[in-house]
Every structure is written in C-alpha cells, then in structure tokens.
Amino acid sequence: MQLPTTFRALANSNYRLWLIGAFISNIGTWLQRTAQDWIVIADLSDQNASAVGIVVMFQFLPQILLLPLTGWAADRLDRRKLLLTTQICMAILALILGVLALTNMIVLWHVYACALALGIVAAFDAPARHAFVSDVVSENEVPNAVALNSVSFNSARLIGPAIAGLLIALVGAGWVFMINLLSFIPLLSALVILGGRSLAGCETKRETSHKMGFLDGFRYLGAHREMIVMLVMSSLVCGLGMNFSVYLSAMTVHVFGGHAGQYGLLISMMAIGSISGALITASRPKPNFGFMVCLPAIYAMASVLVAWSPNYLTFSGLLIVLGLSLQLFTTSSNTFMQTSTSRAYRGRVMAIVLATMMGSTALGAPFVGWVADTIGARWSIGVGAVFGMLAFCIGGTYYLRYYRHQEKAA
C-alpha cells in the first residue's frame, strides 16, 4: 500500500524504527525541559525570567563555541556511534538532575551546570542527528524525512509539557527528570538495531569528507549566497522567537498568575501550530526560497497579536498561529539547507546551520528575560516582531534583486 505524500518516508523501515525511538525520546526531553524551566522560575529564583534565560543560554551557547569540532565530528566519525555516545551522556545528566531534585539538594547553580553540560553534549548530537537522517533514507526521501522529524519533535512538544505540568503537581519535578531517563531506552535500542542493517544513504562514501577540513563548510556556504541570506534570517527569527520557554514562563507567572499546568498547556498550544507547520512542509516538495522569505513577516504579525492578547484564553489560542509561522520557517529553512548541500559537506554545513539557529537563541535568551523582567512580559514577545520584519526585509531584498533572476535563468 502506497503511503500519502505527506508520510512517504515512512515506507522506509529503517526510518520508521528511528522515528519511533526519536519520538519517545523527544517526549522525555520536553518533560525535562518543562520541569527544569518551571523549577527555576517558581522554586530556585525569585520568579526571575532572566534566570530561565540564562539556563537557555547555557544549553545553546556551546553550539557556537564548539562549532569547529561538532561539524568535523558529524562528517568524519561514525554518526550512529556518535549518537549512541551523546544519548548515553544525556541520560546520565537527566539522572543527576533527578537525584538532586529528589533529595532536595538542588540549587540554581546545579541547573546551570547541568544545562551547560547538556549544551556541550547536544552540540555534538544535533548536527550528527540531522545528518544521520540522510544516512537512513535515500536522497529523494530527505526533504520528507526532515519534515517528519519536525512533526515528531513538535508532537512530543504537544504531549510532553502537558504531561509534565500534571506530573510536577502530582509527584514533583524530580520524578519528571527520572521519567526522562527511561525515555532514552527506545532510541538507544533503535541505534543498536540500525547498526546491524544496511542504510540507504550510506552508499555514498566518505573518503572525500575525510580529506576536507572544517573551514570547507564555510567555503561551501560562501559559494552559495542564498544560503548565507537564509542563515541571517534564521538568526534574527530564532534569536527571539525560539525563546518561548522564557517568555511563556514569564507570561504565566507575571501576567496570568498561573501554575505549572497552565505553563505546560501554553507550550502544548504552541506545539499544535508547530505540528501543523511541519505537516505543511512535509506535504510540499523542496521549499521555495520566495515562500520562505515571506514567513518572517507572518511571524512578526503573529508576535504582535500574541503579545497584546487580552486574556489567557485568547493568548493560548493565538499561540497556535505563532507556532505555525515559526515552524514553517525553521523546518523549511532546515530542509532547504540540507537539500541544497552535497552529501560530503552536509555534516559541516548542518553544524553551522544549527550553531546559527541555536547560538542566536542562546544569545537572545538573556535579552528576552531582561525585557520580561524590566519592561514587561508582553514586550518580550512583541520585540520579536521587529526582528521578524528585519529578516523579511533582508530576504525580500535579496530575492527581488538576485535570486528571482537566478530562478528564471535556471
């Protein structure tokens, strides 16, 4: 039986195995992230959104600092074995947080230290994980597989925070960290099983990749100006828009006077839009550059509407639109960058792409927290509109002056 176009990559049995393991692991990740952010703003600080911003910064800043190593590792090392190592390290960090919380020994610097350690591990995990998708599937399945990965990730974001909010109220954050520890088992099992199978995308040899250095990734990007423009747009949008854990926790505490369950619900509402955006991307062929240029403007308009929502119900409903616009842009740009890059350079280029997205998120997190604490939680969302419109202007200018003519010539 032929699968619908939106889910065509699932016909690959190896990809199905990978996706199931990744989905369960992603649920655990969102359980931990929700519990971690809530315990910081509600218990370990004086309801300080800046503290949450610092946690986010520590988690994502290593993407930039370790870029020379992570891109090299994703292309030169065995990606499956690298992922096995990073996932085990992440499980150990979840165990440490769980033990500290359950024994009531946890303090703010413990969370900072674990967030930094997790960021270091994730810096190696993320480019290898994205590039590994192209090892599991054939080249023509890559765009759909990348989009379905986003569906999986955001479906987990829909489920995980909602469950986390209930579990925090019932059993406490410590047990949420321990449940995340168990969620690593399916993905580790999938990686072990895939080691004994022939993977479609591994037919391309990596000898050429071994002879190239890290700077070749930058040289490759330098020869493709449209990819540089996309990186600049991504940094502007992600710097504020992707710091939803900061501005949603601030809105929950400072504006709506809510609890952990309401915070988890807000993340889940945003995830509904994100899933819709990922499904739309999955149903499309390779993303069109002109289409992606318009998405930051939609994000900017959604930010304004969300920021000035009069009540919790309206706010939560409009988060669907915000999540949709963000996910359409991030998934489309991710797919565009992967499919526009030759396989030999893909690990290094994806390391640069992820470092740009996650690094801008890390650098933007303290700023978003500062805006929430000093000017107001609503402004921490509203300022994203300015950056979104700036990204739209940069992308639109390049498209009208250069890229549109290249498309016609091709």
3-state DSSP assignment of residue 61: coil
| Residue 31 tokens, joined | 């359980």
Least confident of 166-180, 201-215, 264-278: 201-215
275 or 111: whose pLDDT is higher?
111
Predicted confidence at residue 199, as pLDDT, reads 61
The answer to which of 13-27, 223-237, 355-369, 389-403 has the lowest mean pLDDT is 355-369
Query: How far out from the chain centre does Cα 78 lie?
Result: 23
User: Higher-confidence residue: 388 or 205?
Assistant: 388
pLDDT at 208 over 50: no
Alpha-carbon torsion (283, 302, 292, 350), positive or negative: negative
From 53-57, 131-135, 256-260, the region with the lowest mean pLDDT: 131-135
Q: What is the pLDDT of residue 209?
A: 47
Does the pLDDT at position 179 exceed 70?
yes
At residue 204, the pLDDT reads: 47
Which of 62-71, 149-158, 302-311, 328-337 has the largest mean confidence? 302-311
Tens digits of residue pLDDT in 315-339: 999 999 998 998 889 888 888 887 7
Q: Looking at domain 11-197+210-409, which CATH architecture does it have?
A: Up-down Bundle (1.20)
DSSP 283: T
User: What secondary structure letter does DSSP report for 77?
Assistant: S
Average pLDDT, the chain: 84
Residue with tokens 């990809």: 15
Q: Quickly tell me which residue has 């915070």 as its tokens.
A: 263
Q: Tally the residues of the chain.
A: 410
Confidence of residue 205 (pLDDT cuts 50, 70, 90): very low
Q: Which among 201, 193, 284 has a CA at the least distance from the CA of 8?
A: 284
pTM of the model: 0.71
Lowest mean pLDDT among 22-36, 143-157, 356-370: 143-157
| Nearest CA among 265, 282, 364 for reference residue 328 | 282
CB 30 within 8 A of CB 332: no
Tokens of 301: 């308009």
* pLDDT category of residue 408 using cuts at 50, 70 and 90: low
Residue 228 confidence (pLDDT) above 70: yes
Q: pLDDT tens for residues 109-168?
A: 999 999 999 989 988 988 888 778 878 887 777 777 877 887 787 778 778 887 888 888
Please report, for the chain, the start and end positions of each structural domain, with discontinuous segments joined by +.
Answer: 11-197+210-409
Angle among Cα 92, 158, 240 to the nearest 5 degrees reads 80
Q: Could you tell me if 154 and 278 are in contact, meaning their C-beta atoms sit under 8 angstroms apart?
A: yes
Alpha carbon distance 219, 221 (integer Å)? 5
